[in-house]
Amino acid sequence: MDLTKTYPRSVREEFAGVVMLARATDKGRAFAEGKNGEYNYNCPMDQAVFGFLGIDKDVYLAKLKQLDDAKLEQWVKETYVSRKSAAEIAQWNAAFLQRSPEKGSDSEAYFVNLRNQVAPGRTDVTTWPDLLDLDEKRPVPVRA
């Protein structure tokens, strides 16, 4: 995958039933090929999904070098997702999609600056998934 020419999958896209993991997979594949561009494998959002599932970033990187998406997804389901209940996965997915920067933090200042660059006037955008989708030219509905 060449992330110098395209975007990784959206945070919202599920992989093995878990949001963010498809994106982390794309970034890992690009990183392994030296084509990650501005994207960082094992960024804080990747770390969150890895932490939730109990995945070691280096083990995951090694597996994604060996397996295509279908086999990697099956391995993740069998090895990690199977340890979680459907309710735990659903709760984590919903909470992750609502991730926002902490009020008053450097992260919030970065968020607001980026939002003002990519979507001036979209003060309804308050979550990282929405901001990343906007930045990567994906549609984000206006929220009240």
pLDDT, tens digit, 9 for 90 and up, residues 25-74: 999 999 999 999 999 999 999 999 999 999 999 999 999 999 999 999 99
Q: What's the pLDDT at 143?
A: 85
Q: Cα 61 to the chain's mean position, in Å?
A: 15
Beta bridge partners of 15: 18
Do residues 93 and 70 make contact, with C-beta atoms less than 8 angstroms apart?
no
For 72-118, the pLDDT digits (tens) are: 999 999 999 999 999 999 999 999 999 999 999 999 999 999 999 99
Do residues 93 and 18 make contact, with C-beta atoms less than 8 angstroms apart?
yes
For 71-84, the pLDDT digits (tens) are: 999 999 999 999 99
- Could you give the 3-state DSSP secondary structure of residue 42? coil
Q: What's the pLDDT at 103?
A: 93
